[in-house]
Amino acid sequence: MMADGQEDDLPEGGFAEVRGGPTVLRILVGAQLRRLREASGISREEAAYAIRGSEAKMSRIESGRVGFKPRDVADLLTMYGLTEGSARDVVLSLAEQANEPSWWHRYSDTMPDWFSTYVGLEQAATIIRTYEAQYVPGLLQTEAYAHAVVNLGEAVRSDEVSKRVELRMHRQQLLHLPKPPEYWAVIDEAVLRRNLGGRKAMREQLDHILEASRLPHITVQVVPFDRSDVAAVGGPFTLLRFAEPDLPDIVYLEQLNSALYLNKDVDVMNYLQIMNRLAAGALTPQLSTDLIASVRDAL
């Protein structure tokens, strides 16, 4: 049996329909374990002792940063008073699903862990807003353009380049799901003018952006050169928003060999204001389309 009130905290039907695979399931199951612990009046230190671990381990479990050992989850649920019934079965089942490899696991040899986390969150997002000052955003890149971008990075073998490009193309399937996320990209005019992969590849890339922007869930805006003050916001960033209440809005900042994931309200609000300022200062979607087409015709 469970302590009073805990049964009502469990989501009806579990998280079976959650999109985003193991990354999101880990976050949701971790959040559920935290709620159950707090409702039971048990400290994180006490819970850690019950599973023969440290408080730091419990923190990683509850934040969804690590996979789950079935024995640990079972012991924690028992400690929290969830000893039997469907609610316990749901959490145990979801914890098991969270340990299963996702479709992007096959690219793990060429994809760092910090980016694997992003891919999982990207797959779960219902709204994706991104700003790019140098390159076409990954979800809008053509294969030829992606090859050129990947080759600009650190030296890698040709087979690794192909695998990274393949991953990028696979990620783009997200935008063609029956219920795709709302995708809103703001890009600097320099992105359009930077010839990557040759004239033919750039024409194809700009055509691809024009085609994508005709889809109702995709918005593309361009910040022109004469509004450079609007674009003076630092490097590229992405804002992710989720339908699940246990997943806070996240700002993703990719660096050379790592990434930052910001989810504090003050940080998210700051970047949301920047994104809104960028969108307000950029050309309208229609004028952006006209500019992209004119650049494409001039190639």
**What is the spatial distance between Cα 76 and Cα 42, in angstroms, rounded to a whole number?**
10
Residue whose token pair is 């695998």: 163
Report residue 4's pLDDT band, with 50, 70 and 90 as the boundaries: very low
Q: Which candidate, 113, 26, 25, 102, places its Cα nearest to that of 61?
A: 26
CA 265/CA 250 separation, integer angstroms? 9
Render pLDDT for 113-162 as a digit per residue (tens, 0 to 9). 788 889 988 988 999 999 999 999 999 999 999 999 998 876 567 778 88
Pairing of strands 259-262, 237-241: unpaired
Model pLDDT, residue 65: 81
pLDDT tens-place string over residues 235-261: 899 999 998 777 889 999 988 778 899
pTM: 0.80
Coil/strand/helix, residue 264: coil
Q: What is the pLDDT of residues 176-204, one digit of tens each?
A: 999 999 999 999 999 999 999 999 999 99
Q: Which range, of 94-98, 119-123, 151-155, 214-218, averages the lowest pLDDT?
A: 151-155
Four-point Cα dihedral 73, 74, 79, 80, nearest 10: 70
Kindly report, residue by residue over 23-78, the tens digit of the pLDDT: 888 888 898 899 999 999 999 999 999 999 999 999 999 988 888 999 999 999 99
Neighbour-count burial for 238-250, b at 16+ CB within 10 Å, e otherwise:
bbbbbebebbebb
Q: Collapse the DSSP code of 262 into the 3-class scheme (helix H, G, I; strand E, B; otherwise coil) and give the result.
A: strand
